[in-house]
Amino acid sequence: MLRVAVLVSGGGTNLQAVIDAVKEGKITNTEIVGVISNKKDAYALERARNAGIPAQCVSPKDYETREQFNEALLAAVKAYQPDLVVLAGFLVILPELLIREYKNRMINIHPSLIPSFCGKGFYGLKVHEEVLARGCKVTGATVHFVDEGCDSGPILLQRAVAVEKDDTPEILQRRVMEQAEWQILPQAINLIANGKVEIKDGHAYAV
Ligand code: GAR
- Which residues participate in catalysis according to the annotation? 110
CB-CB contact of 161 with 152 (8 Å): no
Q: How far apart are CA 129 and CA 124, in angstroms?
A: 9
pLDDT tens digits, residue range 80-113? 999 999 999 999 999 999 999 999 999 999 999 9
The pLDDT of residue 148 is 94
- Give yes or no for residue 13 CB within 6 A of ligand 1: yes
Say how many Å lie between the CA of residue 123 and the centre of ligand 1.
7
Which mutation among 46, 107, 109 tests ligand 1's pocket best, with the greatest number of atoms within 8 A of CB? 109
The pLDDT of residue 115 is 98
CATH 3.10.400.10 assigned to 2-206:
no
- Give yes or no for residue 54 CB within 6 A of ligand 1: no
pLDDT (tens digit, 0 to 9) for every residue of the chain, 207 residues total?
A: 999 999 999 999 999 999 999 999 999 999 999 999 999 999 999 999 999 999 999 999 999 999 999 999 999 999 999 999 999 999 999 999 999 999 999 999 999 999 999 999 999 999 999 999 999 999 999 999 999 999 999 999 999 999 999 999 999 999 999 999 999 999 999 999 999 999 999 999 999
**Claim: this prediction has a pTM higher than 0.95:** yes
Would strands 55-57 and 30-37 be described as parallel, antiparallel, or unpaired? parallel
Query: What residue spans define the domains of the chain?
Result: 2-206
Q: Which atom of ligand 1 is nearest to the CA of 9?
A: 16
The pLDDT of residue 123 is 94
As a residue count, the chain comes to 207
Q: Whose CA is nearest to atom 8 of ligand 1?
A: 89
| Residues ≥6 apart with Cβ < 8 Å to 145 | 104, 106, 107, 108, 153, 154, 156, 199, 204
Say how many Å lie between the CA of residue 88 and the centre of ligand 1.
6
Would strands 155-162 and 2-8 be described as parallel, antiparallel, or unpaired? unpaired
The pLDDT of residue 174 is 98
